[in-house]
Structure 1
Amino acid sequence: MSETMSEADSETEFRSVPLGEIEPARSRHMWTRSAVDVAESGDLVVTGEWDGTVTARDADSLAARWTADHPDHAVGIASIAGDDAETIVVAGRGETGTIAAYDAETGDRRWRYDTVDDLGEAVKDAVFYLPYVVALEIGTDADGNEVFYAAARRYERDGEIRRWHSAVYALEADGTVRWSYGTDASPIALDLDADGERLAVGYNRCMGDHDTGLVVLETEAGGVEWTWDPGTVGDRRVGDVSVDGKSIAVSSHGDKRGYLLGPGGAERWSVDLACETEIDGETLYAYPNHVTASDDRVAFVTGNTYAKASRETENRHPNEHRIVAFDGLGEFVWEDELRGFVHGLGVGGERIVAPCAQNFRVRDPETHGVRWFDLDRGDGGTADVDGIATAAAVDSGTVAVVEEPVEYHDDGETRGEYALRVGSFE
C-alpha cells in the first residue's frame, strides 16, 4: 500500500502490521474472509481474520492488546461503549454461525450464541453452505439498555430445489435472545433508526414463502411494521438498506435501481443505477450493492458488469463500479469511479470509505485501492493498494483497512500481503 494518503490539503501516513498467512485471492471474488472495526472509543482497532482470530490493537502503535479465538471465520465486527465497559461483537461464518461478545479491554468472552441451533447444520462441506452471520447492528432500547441485532442465514440445495433458512435476532447485553424473526429468504443487510425503534432488514434472495425485499421491524418485540418490494420477476430483491430519519434508502437487485422510501414504504423517488443496457448486441447490467444515507444525502455503489445471456463478456456497463449521490428530492449531486469491487463500505459521520478489490473482468492491479468521499460534497482522496482492499472502517477520524494478497489466473504473480493498515483523517 502507498505510504501516504491525502484528503484536501492534508497527508496522513498509514501504519501497518501483518496479519499472518492467507491463501491469495484469485481473479474472481472469494467469500468474505476478513473484518475490521474502529471501536467507539476511537483508540482501538479490531480485526477479524479468516481463521477466527480476533485481535484488538492500539490505534496509534498497533500493538496488540489481546487476541481471542472465535469459533468460526470472523467475518463481521461491531462495537458499543456501554455504561460499564465497551463491548466488541463478532459475527462468524462456519459450522456454528456464532455471534459472540468480547470485553474490549481484556478480550474475555462475555457470551456466545450459535445460530446453527436455529438454522440447522450445513448439508454440504462447502463455505457457501455454512451458517453465516451476514450483518450486525448495535443500539440501545427506550430504557437505555444495550441491544445487539444480527441477521444469519444458511443455504442448501437438493437437485433443482434451493432453500434458505434465516433469522434476525435481537439479543440482550448478556446474549439472551429478546426476540427472533425467521424466514425462508436470504437476509443481506440491517440498519437501525437513530431512536433505536425500527430495524430495516434487506432480503437479497426470495425463493420460498417469504416474498418481499424489505421488512421493517419494531424493535421492542420484533413485530412487522411494514414491508416493501421492487416488484420484479425472479428471486433477486434488495442489495442494501440505509435508514435516514423517517426515510429508508434501498439499493434494488431486482431492477438495478435506487429508491428512497417514506413511512409505510411510500416511494418518494427512484433512480436508474445500472439497469439493463444494450452494448454491441449484448444486454448488460450491474448490481447496486451498497447504499448509505444521512442528512438528506443518499449514495449508491454499483458492482460488476454481467451479461444477461452469457457468463462472460468483453463489454462493460457504463455504470459499473461507481458511487453516485443524490439529495433528498432525488436530484443528482455528485458521482465518481471506484474501478474495483467493493465488499462493504466503511461509514463514519459524513465520510464514506470504499475498499476497492479486483475488477475480475479487467484484472488490472491499478484498480486496487482505498477511496474515500465526503457524502455531502463528494470530495475525498485515494490510496493505492498492492493487493486488494477487502474491508474498511472509520470512526473518530481513524480509518482502518484490511489488505489481502491477490493472484490473477492469467499472470501468476502474487501482489500485496495480508495486513492491517491504519491512518487518520484528522
Structure 2
Amino acid sequence: MLTDERRRPLGDLDPAESRHNWARSAATVADGTVVAGGVGGRLTAERPDATPAERWSTTAADPSAIVDSYVVSLAARDGTLVAGERGPDGHVAALSAATGDRRWRYATAADVGTATTESLTFQPYVVDVAVGGRTVAAARRYDRDGESRDWSSVVLGFDPDGDVRWRYPARAAPLALDARHSRVAVAYNRCTDAHAHGLVVLDADTGAPVMNWDPGTEGDRRVGDVAFLGDGVAVASHGDKHGYLLDADGGERWRVDLASERRVGGETVYAYPTHVRAAGDAAVFVTGNTYAESTRDPDARHPREHTIAAVDDGDLTWTHPVGGFARDVAADGSLVAVPSAQHFRERRADTHAVHLFDADRGHLDSRSIPGIAAAVALDGDTLAVVEEPVEYHDEGVTHGAFRLHTWRVDADER
C-alpha cells in the first residue's frame, strides 16, 4: 500500500476557487527523483529517501524574467526532463534530470500566437509533452468573441538539440498526447469545421498524419484523452461519452459506454470521460463532472460521475468512485493513481485525496489531502502528488497549501 508519506512546501500559490479547474502544476518521477512544477515556471527536484531531499531548483523560462506562468506538463526519460508552460510565451524546455541545467527552450507562441488579453486562460498553453527518441509537445491558444472561440494549436517534434523537426498545426484544441515508438497520438477536444478529427496519429519522425478518427457526433466536443495499448490506441470520447479501442488503421475493436446521457430525477445528465491510461492489458478510464442538457447546474448526478473504470478486451471489469474531478492520472505497469480535486457542485473538502488502483484487482489504497490533489506521478515504488490550496466560495476557508506529497508504494502490493 502507500507508506512513508513526506510533505514539502512548494511556495505561495493563490487558492483555487470552487469551479477553478485550470492546470497550474505538474509532477513526474524518474529513477527515484520527483520533479514538481508550478508558479513562475519553477521546477523543484528531490529524492524523498535522501537527506537533504532537494536535489535542485530552477526555472524552465528565463530566470531574469518575472512572468505569470506555470509549469503544467512534465515528462522525463533517459536523463532528460521536458517541461511545458502556460504563460505569455508557452515555453517548452528540455533540462538535465540530474542537475536541472537547461539544454534548450522554445516559445510555442511563435506558432499559436500571443494572448490578446492578460488573462491566464488566453495565454499559450503546452497541454502535454512526451520525451523518448524525439521530444513532442502539444500547445494551444484561443480567442473568444462572445460564445465563439477561435482555436489555434500546434504539435511539435523536436530534435535532441531543440531544433523543430516538424509541425502539425490545427484549428482545434488538443487536450493530451501519447507517444510510442514511431507514432504520436493526439486527442482534440474542441474541434472546428477546419479540423473535424478528434484523434490524429502522427509519424514521430516526420509529423505526417498516418490515421484520423472521430466519434462522428454533433457539436465541437470530440476526444478527451488517448493512450497506446498494445498495438492499438484507447480513446476517451467526449462526443458520445464512450471508451474505445481502435486498431492501427482506426478500426473499432471495442466500444464501452462510460457515462452517456441518462434520465436521473427528471433530468437528462451525462459526464465526460476525461482520462484514459494503459495499465497492463487493460484500458482504465476516469470520468468527470455531471452536466445536463437543459441547465448548467443540474440537481441530479450521473451515476458514473467521478468514476474510474477498467476495461479488459471490451469487458467492463470494475468501477470505483474517486470523489471529485481528476485533473491528472498516472499509470505504471498495472498500477493507476488518480488524484481527486474539488467536487465543484457539492464542494466537499473531505473528498480531496489520491487513490491507488490495480487494473486487475481494483482499489488498493487512498490517502486524504487537505487541499486539492492537482497533479500526480507514479514510477517504480514512488507516488507523488502536488497539492494546491482551494477556497470554496460559500465557506471563506482555505483548505490545504501548495505542497509536494510523496509516498512509498509497498513492493508487496505491486
| Amino acid in the other structure paired with 1:152 | A
Q: Name the residue aligned to 2:357.
A: 373
Residue among 331, 346, 352 paired with 2:315: 331
Does residue 46 (structure 1) correspond to residue 46 (structure 2)? The answer is no
The answer to whether the Cα contact below 8 Å between 2:235 and 2:244 also exists between their aligned partners in 1 is: yes
Q: CA deviation at 1:326?
A: 1.3
TM-score (norm 2): 0.94
Residue among 214, 219, 239 paired with 1:234: 219
| Amino acid in the other structure paired with 2:120 | V
Q: Name the residue aligned to 2:401.
A: 417
Q: Name the residue aligned to 1:3.
A: none
Superposed CA offset, 1:91-119 (max 9, x none): 00111000001122222211001100111
Q: Name the residue aligned to 2:45.
A: 56
Q: CA deviation at 1:160?
A: 4.9
Q: Name the residue aligned to 1:219.
A: 204
**Structure 1 range deviating more: 296-305 or 52-61:** 52-61
Residue among 241, 247, 250 paired with 1:262: 247
| Amino acid in the other structure paired with 1:225 | V
Does residue 274 (structure 1) correspond to residue 264 (structure 2)? The answer is no
SS at match of 2:362: coil
Listed as ranges, the gaps of 5+ residues in structure 1 are: 1-6, 141-146
**Structure 1 range deviating more: 378-387 or 62-71:** 62-71
| Amino acid in the other structure paired with 1:49 | G
| Amino acid in the other structure paired with 1:25 | A
**Structure 1 range deviating more: 346-355 or 61-70:** 61-70
The answer to whether the Cα contact below 8 Å between 2:25 and 2:38 also exists between their aligned partners in 1 is: yes
Q: What aligned pairs does 1:285-324 form with structure 2 within 5 A after superposition?
A: 285-324=270-309
The answer to whether the Cα contact below 8 Å between 1:162 and 1:207 also exists between their aligned partners in 2 is: no
Residue among 237, 242, 250 paired with 2:235: 250
Cα distance change, pair 14–160 in 1 and its aligned pair in 2 (3 A): closer
Superposed CA offset, 1:15-34 (max 9, x none): 11111111111211231111
Aligned length: 402
Q: CA–CA distance in 1 between the matches of 2:40 and 2:120?
A: 13
Residue among 7, 16, 19 paired with 1:28: 19
| Amino acid in the other structure paired with 1:34 | S
Q: CA–CA distance in 2 between the matches of 1:97 and 1:371?
A: 31
Q: CA–CA distance in 2 between the matches of 1:310 and 1:379?
A: 33
Q: CA–CA distance in 2 between the matches of 1:66 and 1:139?
A: 23
TM-score (norm 1): 0.92
The answer to whether the Cα contact below 8 Å between 1:218 and 1:225 also exists between their aligned partners in 2 is: yes
Q: CA deviation at 1:277?
A: 0.9
Superposed CA offset, 1:121-157 (max 9, x none): 11122111110100111122xxxxxx10110011112
Q: CA–CA distance in 1 between the matches of 2:260 and 2:129?
A: 29
The answer to whether the Cα contact below 8 Å between 2:268 and 2:292 also exists between their aligned partners in 1 is: yes
Superposed CA offset, 1:25-46 (max 9, x none): 121123111111112x22x111
SS at match of 1:113: strand
Does residue 391 (structure 1) correspond to residue 405 (structure 2)? The answer is no
Give the superposed CA RMSD.
1.3
| Amino acid in the other structure paired with 2:123 | L
Q: CA–CA distance in 2 between the matches of 1:348 and 1:165?
A: 32
SS at match of 2:217: coil
Does residue 151 (structure 1) correspond to residue 138 (structure 2)? The answer is yes
SS at match of 1:366: helix
Q: CA–CA distance in 2 between the matches of 1:384 and 1:161?
A: 39
SS at match of 2:111: helix
Q: Name the residue aligned to 2:66.
A: none
- Work out the percentage of aligned pairs sharing the same amino acid: 49
Superposed CA offset, 1:220-257 (max 9, x none): 21111111100000000000001012111101111111
SS at match of 1:23: coil
Q: Name the residue aligned to 1:344.
A: 328
| Amino acid in the other structure paired with 2:115 | A
Q: Name the residue aligned to 2:157.
A: 170
Q: CA deviation at 1:259?
A: 0.8
Q: CA–CA distance in 1 between the matches of 2:226 and 2:129?
A: 13
Q: CA–CA distance in 1 between the matches of 2:241 and 2:395?
A: 33
Residue among 81, 84, 94 paired with 1:91: 84
The answer to whether the Cα contact below 8 Å between 1:206 and 1:237 also exists between their aligned partners in 2 is: yes
Superposed CA offset, 1:276-314 (max 9, x none): 111222111111000112443111100111111111122
| Amino acid in the other structure paired with 2:395 | D
Q: CA deviation at 1:367?
A: 1.0
Q: Name the residue aligned to 2:75.
A: 78
